[in-house]
């Protein structure tokens, strides 16, 4: 063991490391980190675990000289490369959209929320509390890094601060814009009556209506946070990254919106916040029901 460690140390000393080598490793590490965070926030994490298990089995079959198993697994890995592109297509698209919509300075500077975002959250919770009691359907999309200009163009463009009374008027069932979604950008309403893409997941519960399917579809195609009120039951739901959290109390809605839309001073990532909300303890009154949209 001592000779092995000494040999490894001598091998390391032969490296001619430059600043470009360090930069090269740092860039790759950052890309891997972002990919892992992106996969962790979706159901693709389950697929990633299955792939990792398959690679471990391939390595063990090689070490144990299980030739037939190794041959079969090797062919599966070769044929599955193209399949991975199809399986992870939503995650790859979202990663490229986030990469294209981010500025270089955002990677190193502290994120600061626009001053109107906190007011928008407060007013939204007030409006949704009232809409939930009256069983009035509502659909709001909070834009984050991925621009939603194409979605805004499908409705009526507005420029207004978020107010509870305004939201209740927009979603009133006789209002001309009540059927579409309200788009919020940096704490301001920029569109109403907008058409959202529906989720293509055939495994969604049949209890979910078109409003919920549109909310899940929007969260699958962007990093937006979508808040929904059911017209049939009055229950409040939130869709993030293709996952739907149902039957939320107003306090839980406010906590979730704050965690997702306001920058966190703590060192833990937003994905851990979302996971803690979506995996809350049994018996909590606000737990609700989680529905996977992907």
How far is the C-alpha of 44 from the C-alpha of 80, rounded, in Å? 15
pLDDT at 193: 93
In this structure, what are the phi and psi dihedrals at residue 242, rounded to the nearest 5 degrees?
80, 5
**Domain span holding position 283:** 116-292
pLDDT at 61: 85
Cβ-based neighbour number of residue 134 at 10 Å: 13
Same domain, 80 and 171: no
Q: Do 61 and 137 belong together in one domain?
A: no
If asked whether residues 55 and 192 sit together in one domain, one would say no
Q: What is the CATH number of the domain that holds 280?
A: 3.40.1700.10
pLDDT tens digit at each of 294 positions of the chain: 677 777 767 766 666 667 777 788 888 888 878 777 666 555 556 667 777 788 888 888 888 888 888 888 888 777 776 766 776 666 666 667 666 655 444 444 445 556 789 999 999 999 999 999 999 999 999 998 888 888 999 999 999 999 999 999 999 988 888 889 999 999 999 999 999 988 877 778 888 888 999 999 998 888 899 999 999 999 999 999 888 999 999 999 999 999 999 876 443 444 444 444 444 444 444 445 555 444
| 231 and 253 housed in the same domain | yes
Q: Is 94 found in the same domain as 223?
A: no
Residue 236 to residue 215: CA distance in whole angstroms: 12
Do 170 and 43 sit in the same domain of this protein? no
Q: Which of 107, 137, 165 is the last residue of a domain?
A: 107
What is the predicted pLDDT for the residue at 41?
54
pTM recorded for the entire structure: 0.61
Query: Same domain, yes or no, for 88 and 156?
Result: no
Asked if residue 92 and residue 174 are part of one domain, the reply reads no
**Looking at the 3D structure of the chain, how many domains does it have?**
2
pLDDT at 90: 65
The pLDDT, as a whole number, for residue 271 is 43
Is 100 in the same domain as 184?
Answer: no
pLDDT on residue 70: 82
Q: Are residues 72 and 141 in the same domain?
A: no
131 and 259 part of one domain: yes
Q: What is the pLDDT of residue 157?
A: 92
Cβ–Cβ contacts within 10 Å for residue 197, how many? Answer: 16
Shared domain check, 24 and 97? yes
Distance (Å, whole) CA 216 – CA 289:
14
Boundary residue ending a domain (54, 80, 107): 107
């Amino acid at each position: 063991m001592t000779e092995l460690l000494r040999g490894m140390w001598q091998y390391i000393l032969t490296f001619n490391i430059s600043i470009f080598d360090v930069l090269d490793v740092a860039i790759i590490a950052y890309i891997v980190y972002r990919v892992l965070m992106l996969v962790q926030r979706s159901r693709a994490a389950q697929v990633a675990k299955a792939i990792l298990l398959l690679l471990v089995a391939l390595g063990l079959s090689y070490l144990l000289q299980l030739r037939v198993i190794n041959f079969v697994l090797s062919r599966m890995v070769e044929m599955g490369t193209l399949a991975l592109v199809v399986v992870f297509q939503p995650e790859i698209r979202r990663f490229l959209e986030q990469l294209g919509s981010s500025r270089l300075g955002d990677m190193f500077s502290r994120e600061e929320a626009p001053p109107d975002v906190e007011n928008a959250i407060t007013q939204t919770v007030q409006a949704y509390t009232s809409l939930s009691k009256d069983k009035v359907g509502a659909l709001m999309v909070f834009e984050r890094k991925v621009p939603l200009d194409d979605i805004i163009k499908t409705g009526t463009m507005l420029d207004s601060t978020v107010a509870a009374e305004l939201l209740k008027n927009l979603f009133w069932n006789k209002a001309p814009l009540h059927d579409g979604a309200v788009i919020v950008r940096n704490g301001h309403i920029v569109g109403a009556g907008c058409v959202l893409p529906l989720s293509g997941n055939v495994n969604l519960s049949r209890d979910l209506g078109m409003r919920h399917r549109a909310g899940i579809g929007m969260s699958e195609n962007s990093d937006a946070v979508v808040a929904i009120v059911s017209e049939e039951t009055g229950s409040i739901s939130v869709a993030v990254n293709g996952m739907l959290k149902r039957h939320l109390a107003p306090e839980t809605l406010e906590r979730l919106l704050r965690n997702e839309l306001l920058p966190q001073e703590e060192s833990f990532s937003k994905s851990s916040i979302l996971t803690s909300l979506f995996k809350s303890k049994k018996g909590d009154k606000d737990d609700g029901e989680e529905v996977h949209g992907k």
